[in-house]
Chains A and B, each alone.
Chain A
Amino acid sequence: DTGVSQDPRHKITKRGQNVTFRCDPISEHNRLYWYRQTLGQGPEFLTYFQNEAQLEKSRLLSDRFSAERPKGSFSTLEIQRTEQGDSAMYLCASSPQTARDGYTFGSGTRLTVV
């Protein structure tokens, strides 16, 4: 297993368009997390899955954002009607059920909304 993979690495989109990002976690990890990181800031928690169930969502996750993990493996994060304020790095991470050893992060998807 090569770790957590995210696709694409970079995405440039026009304001108002929809975008979708994909995350493939480490195969034996049943927990998956999405974070958003803006320039000069630490990652901000967006949402968390345990297997296919979305168990927690931050208030940062507005109605335009939706995340899925349909079969408990890969996950997608969709942003509808993108705004310039959505420009950020979107990070995915995974962990085993016991997350006390921390999360393993992917390299992120850099979104630029023009």
Chain B
Amino acid sequence: AQSVTQPDIHITVSEGASLELRCNYSYGATPYLFWYVQSPGQGLQLLLKYFSGDTLVQGIKGFEAEFKRSQSSFNLRKPSVHWSDAAEYFCAVGAYNNNDMRFGAGTRLTVKP
């Protein structure tokens, strides 16, 4: 079955600084890849997705991610972080038909003023 690893449990960045959150997946074929964000006590909101085509995908709130097949990675980036970006970020992978999407353990982002 597919799986996801998010190596960083917690990241702290200063407001205005750039951000990169790492995600590595395991799946034998081309996966469906997603990044979600979760604020405390809330559900998950989709930031962006990839399933084919251009390997650099744009999402909401100024986020982007790049699919690198050779590295089995799908890292999330933002050029300038805002205080409102503080939240938990989850990378997820879906296999063919995407009927049981699997999530990583998440990366908690803290933004310093």
Contacts and interface: CB of A to CB of B under 8 A. Distances in A.
Contacts of B25: none
B80 interface: no
A42 interface: yes
Given A42-B90, A102-B49, A108 B102 contact: no
Interface string A71-104: 0000000000000000000010101000111111
B98 interface: yes
Nearest to B32: A100
A12 to B, nearest CB: 15
Interface size class of A (residues with CB under 8 A): 20 to 34
A43 B44 contact: yes
A102 B100 contact: no
A17 B90 CA distance: 32
Contact of B106 (A41, A91, A102): A41
Contacts of B103: 35, 42-44
Contact of A48 (B44, B51, B100): B100
B43 A45 contact: no
B100 A56 contact: yes
Given A48-B99, A100-B32, A102-B46, A42 B94 contact: no
Contact of A110 (B34, B41, B49): B41
A43 B90 contact: yes
Contacts of A103: 46, 101
Contact of B43 (A55, A56, A95, A107): A107
19 contacts: A40-B105, A41-B106, A43-B44, A45-B101, A55-B99, A91-B43, A99-B32, A99-B97, A99-B99, A99-B101, A100-B51, A100-B94, A102-B32, A102-B49, A102-B101, A106-B43, A107-B43, A108-B43, A110-B41
Interface of A: 4, 31, 33, 35, 40-45, 48, 50, 55-56, 58, 91, 93, 95, 99-108, 110
Top 10 nearest A-B pairs by Cβ distance? A42-B103, A99-B98, A105-B43, A105-B44, A107-B43, A100-B51, A102-B46, A45-B100, A102-B34, A43-B103
